[in-house]
Structure 1
Amino acid sequence: MCASQFIDSDEIRSRFSKAMSEMYRLEVPQYSTLLELVADINESTMADAGHGMQVSAPERNRLQVERHGAIRLGKASELADIRRIFAVMGMLPVGYYDLSSAGVPVHSTAFRPVADESLLRNPFRVFTSLLRLELIEDEALRERARTILARREIFSARALELVRQFESNGGLTSEEADEFVGEVRETFRWHREATVDADTYREFHDAHRLIADVVCFKGPHINHLTPRTLDIDAAQVEMPRRGIGAKELIEGPPSRRHPILLRQTSFKALEEAILFPNGAGHEDGTHTARFGEIEQRGMALTREGRELYDTLLAQVNARSDERYEVRLAQAFASFPDDLGALREQGLAFFRYEVKDAARLKDMADAGAGFDLERLIESGIVVAQPVTYEDFLPVSAAGIFQSNLGESGRTHGKGNSARDAFEASLGAPVLDEMELYERASRESLEQVRSAFETKVAS
């Protein structure tokens, strides 16, 4: 088949993201309310000249479609297959997250696009966790979980056939892509029928709610979809006004003039009716897993910036003399909140772009050497913060804990097993820092090349 008949992976990802959003809107009606709330806040934020929010047309388009979801898998083969499925959509595994430090028996990665043009087209991400059976302390319960998971197949035969076809042929036609989207969407659909009886469910639930969520159902139902807001503090205030029970605290750094990394909040998980099989037919029960989340993305921090962030966060967690949000604000008062200072101190990543080619040529003609700071000061080149595209382990654990009905902020030693995770995945996870460094470096090289071209001409 001719490659020109194939559609690109960005388009497949966009179709899948739209299909997932439509499905979740039907399954969890409060998600529709969440989307409306976020759209209203984003519009008012962009319209408020005093807010200082400058959003380009491409970024505005991205904002309208941006979502991230989350799923939880039970066995290595599921993780390996989901990697191949997301590859069809142009999504690669970025980052390794050990959530065991918060008492959550999973480790995770985020599947997402990595190229700038793909992120602008549709930055759909799926935070994907794998249950760590070795962290189930009860040996008999651990083996029962392994046996139950071994019996299930979460992907349809046709979905995997289309993946093989993509891998063999180098792409899918538009019709094949639509079929692929439909088949894969079924994997993430909610099924109210448990695969185990009520007693077995309760045993897993008592060991850890997340274990029950992973082991006791047909597949990894999507447990949330997350739109992106430009003002998460306004969203937190507005949620109760629209009948949405927000979690108590926003996860991540405090509110700032120039946001950094990622801030997240959510509405509390829904208690949903389920059916347990028994000899007579079924038994009624409930399960709590799915919720709605909102995120605000700031700028990506360099390795030095992340080190400072982690140091300040550790100071916050070591104290208990004030409310958490007060301690957070006090600690982060020492983190620069000025774009010039962040760039000059090497704390955040920036992307560089020529804004005035004529003046760039004039400077080159004058015989001046390449001086990035002078070009920025004169307005010939602009430095824009690189958006943080990934997740924070502590914040992810905080969202998990809140929606599993756990209280407090747990920070333990952890039990990282990256090598085992990558072996299950069948590939290494990408280093998010290297991706940000490359994006910043390549943009600077383009500016330098443009300057040198002017000199040569």
Structure 2
Amino acid sequence: MPAHSFVSAASIRDRFASAMSTMYQNEVPQYGTLLKLVADINERTLADNPALARQMAAANDLARLSVERHGAIRVGTAEELGMLSRLFAVMGMAPVGYYDLAAAGVPVHSTAFRPIETETLAINPFRLFTSLLRLDLIEDDNLRQRAADILAVRDIFTPRVRELIARFEAEGGLTEAEADTFVAEAIETFRWHEDATVDYATYEALASEHKLIADVVCFRGPHINHLTPRTLDIDAAQAAMPEYGITPKAVIEGPPRRDVPILLRQTSFKALEESIRFAGDTEGRHTARFGEIEQRGVALTPDGRALYDRLLTAAQTYKRDANDDYQAALHGIFEEFPDDLDTLRRRELAYFRYQAAGESLIDASAPADDDSAIEALLASGHVVAHPIVYEDFLPVSAAGIFQSNLGSDEAGEGTAAASQQELEAALGQPIIDPFALYARIEADSKRAALDMLMGLAPQNRPA
């Protein structure tokens, strides 16, 4: 079948993200309230800050704001993760970044499936933070085997979605009708089920080991446990949550408020306590799903990330029971971190995307190397630099959100070393290094801007 008759991966991802949001709003009504809160805050922020609105529009970041979401799921076996990897590939999503949450007392390691190209991110940057349970961290041998046996007999995918994934892989795409069916079938994997697959005693035994283990093992599938809209002012969102009938977690995770946001800040509200029917008709309650809001800033280079990590480590001695006090302490610590775009760019602490402004050709006497030429063109106004949005996650923030919604803010201590190779084996593909990805986007944008302004094909430009 000719490729032009296939639906693009970005379009399938956009349809899936919309269907996921509708499903989650039906399952967790307070999520709808969260969307209203975020929309109100974003509208007010853009109205109060026209420069930010212009900057986002120029960088093509404004259109994606209202549809932007990330979700999170947890699976139990390598086989489940491998099939999810194939499912996400249909939507143009690849695994980026390795996260070891065991070091924070959460018995999983994770990656984030997301689009990786600038053009497709602009259409819909939907991300799924996906964690694989580490059964090896269950200390009780009998309980570990029991969990493995339960997981071995479940199938979290519908037969039809398996067929469509195989068809996509064989044919190179899906037709309109197949794409719609794919979305409807794929959503079933992430749906909430009130019926547990185990009896209450088994659930309690697994929960006593770790609540997350019970959440992963005891149900028919990896129900989506949160969807996260993006706000432009998370401090305003945190303050406004009680006005919308939402109780926020104690502190905002991540860096402090800044003129130039960096990386990722997150807050959430407590998980729902939901009715569950266990095998044998025993009634019980389970806590897993919650609401979350995020604010995204510029992606940091390895040097920028090293500075961020050092400063955040220095903040770990401060109490985290009052947000205003904690944010004030963070702000003081982070005064060392430059807070303007030009300094971040010149010191190579953050990544930027370069864009030609106009069609004037570069002077023949301009520097031959890319970096010097770019600096000259920036100074003359022929090139503009846009901060690259951080599309990934912070291990500390992820663990903090996990713990707070499992009923504890205690980090705990991990008992096993991380194993990226193990996760990659389950995925059936390498995990993309986010630093390398951002660096490639930056380098490609420099070359494209120079090619346009010099009027030369890439092969004819100076190396």
What is the TM-score normalised by the length of structure 1?
A: 0.95
Say yes or no: does 1:86 pair with 2:57: no
1:325 CA displacement: 3.0
The corresponding residue for 1:69 is 71
1:332 corresponds to 2:334: yes
Matches for 1:12-161 after TM superposition, within 5 Å: 12-49=12-49, 52-53=52-53, 54-56=55-57, 58-161=60-163
Q: Name 1:288's counterpart in structure 2.
A: 287
Residue in 2 that maps onto 1:255: 257
How far the C-alpha of 1:248 sits from its partner, in A, is 0.9
Q: In the alignment, what sits opposite 1:173?
A: 175
CA contact (8 A) 1:155 1:187 kept: yes
1:157 is displaced (CA, Å) by 1.0
- Whole-Å Cα distance in 2 between the matches of residues 133 and 49 of structure 1? 49
Residue 308 of structure 2: aligned partner: 309
Q: Secondary structure at the match of 1:196?
A: strand
CA contact (8 A) 2:352 2:387 kept: yes
The one-letter code matched in structure 2 to 1:208 is: H
Q: Is the 8 A contact 1:364 1:451 kept in 2?
A: no
Cα offset for 1:372? 2.3
* SS of aligned partner of 2:195: coil
Which secondary structure state, in structure 2, belongs to the residue aligned with residue 375 of structure 1?
Answer: helix
> For the Cα contact (< 8 Å) 2:356–2:453, is it kept in 1?
no
Q: 1:412 to 1:210 in 2, by over 3 A?
A: closer
Per-residue CA deviation, residues 147-206 of structure 1 (Å, 9 max, x unaligned), is 000010000111101100000011100100111111110110000001111111111111
Q: Aligned partners of 1:398, 1:304: CA distance in 2, in Å?
A: 24
Q: Is the 8 A contact 1:263 1:296 kept in 2?
A: yes
What is the DSSP-based 3-state SS (H/G/I as helix, E as strand, rest coil) of the residue aligned with 1:265? strand
Whole-Å separation in 1 of the counterparts to 2:344 and 2:416: 31
CA distance in 1, matches of 2:367, 2:275: 69
Amino acid at match of 1:62: R
Shift of 1:375: 1.9
| Secondary structure at 1:364 match in 2 | coil
Q: Displacement of 1:420 after TM fit?
A: 1.0
**How many pairs does the alignment contain?**
450
Q: Find out whether 1:441 has 2:440 as its counterpart.
A: no
- The superposition leaves residues 218-272 of structure 1 with CA deviations (integer Å, 9 ceiling, x where unpaired) of 1000000011111111111111110011111111111100000001111110001
Q: Which amino acid aligns with 1:317?
A: Q
Q: Which residue of 2 aligns with 1:191?
A: 193
Bigger shift: 326-335 or 220-229?
326-335
Aligned to 1:5: 5
Is the Cα contact below 8 Å between 2:104 and 2:412 reproduced in 1?
yes
Local SS of the residue matching 1:109 = strand
State how far apart, in whole Å, the 2-side matches of 1:146 and 1:201 are. 14
The yes-or-no answer on 1:405 pairing with 2:401 is no
In 1, are the aligned partners of 2:227 and 2:292 still within 8 Å (CA)? Answer: yes
Match of 1:382 among 384, 399, 402: 384
> Alignment identity in percent?
57
Q: Distance in 2 between matches of 1:301 and 1:348?
A: 4
The 8 Å contact of residues 191 and 218 in structure 1, kept in 2 or not, is answered as yes
Contact 1:98 1:414 survives alignment (8 Å): no
Please identify, of 1-10 and 182-191, the stretch whose mean Cα deviation from structure 2 is larger: 1-10
Q: CA deviation at 1:320?
A: 6.0
Structure 1: distance between partners of 2:413 and 2:43:
37
Range that drifts further, 371-380 or 202-211: 371-380
Alpha-carbon displacement from aligned partner over 1:2-33 (angstroms, at most 9, x marks no partner)? 32221111111111001100100100000001
Once the two structures are TM-superposed, the CA of residue 332 in structure 1 deviates from its matched residue by 0.9
- Shift of the 273–192 alpha-carbon distance from structure 1 to 2, 3 Å rule, reads same
Q: Which moved more, 1:34-43 or 1:406-415?
A: 406-415
Amino acid at match of 2:20: M
Give the one of 374, 391, 394 matched to 1:392: 394
Contact 1:260/1:297, CA 8 A, preserved across alignment: yes
Gaps of 5+ in 2: none
8 Å CA contact retained: 1:70, 1:128:
yes
Tell me, yes or no, if the aligned pair for 2:102 and 2:413 is still in contact at 8 Å. Answer: no
- 1:357-376 to structure 2, matched below 5 A, reads 357-358=359-360, 361=361, 364=363, 367-369=365-367, 371-376=373-378
Question: 1:272 and 1:46 mapped to 2: Cα distance?
Answer: 37
Is the CA contact 1:364–1:454 (under 8 Å) kept in the aligned structure 2? no
The residue type paired with residue 347 of structure 1 is L
Alpha-carbon distance between aligned partners in 2 of 1:409 and 1:347, rounded to the nearest angstrom: 29
SS at match of 2:260: coil
**Structure 2: which amino acid aligns with 1:326?**
A
Instruction: Structure 1 unaligned segments of length 5 or more: list them.
Output: none
Superposed displacement of residue 52, structure 1: 4.2
Aligned residue type for 1:373: E
CA contact (8 A) 2:69 2:127 kept: yes
Q: Distance in 1 between matches of 2:22 and 2:286?
A: 22
Deviations 1:277-300 (CA, angstroms, capped at 9, x unpaired): 21xxx1111000000111111000
TM-score by length of 2: 0.93
* Letter of the 1:313 counterpart: L
Which residue does the alignment assign to 1:416? 418
Report how far residue 51 of structure 1 moved: 6.9
Distance in structure 2 (CA, Å) of the matches to 1:335 and 1:27? 41
The aligned counterpart of 1:228 is 230
Counterpart residue identity of residue 202, structure 1:
E
Cα-to-partner distance string for 1:309-355 (whole Å, 9 max, x where unaligned): 11111111245699543332222110000111111111000111111
Q: Give, in whole Å, the separation in 2 of the partners of 1:319 and 1:199.
A: 39
**Amino acid of the structure 2 residue aligned with 1:2:** P
Q: Give distance in 2, aligned partners of 1:105 and 1:183.
A: 29
Distance of aligned partners of 1:438 and 1:411 in 2 relative to their CA distance in 1, 3 Å threshold: farther
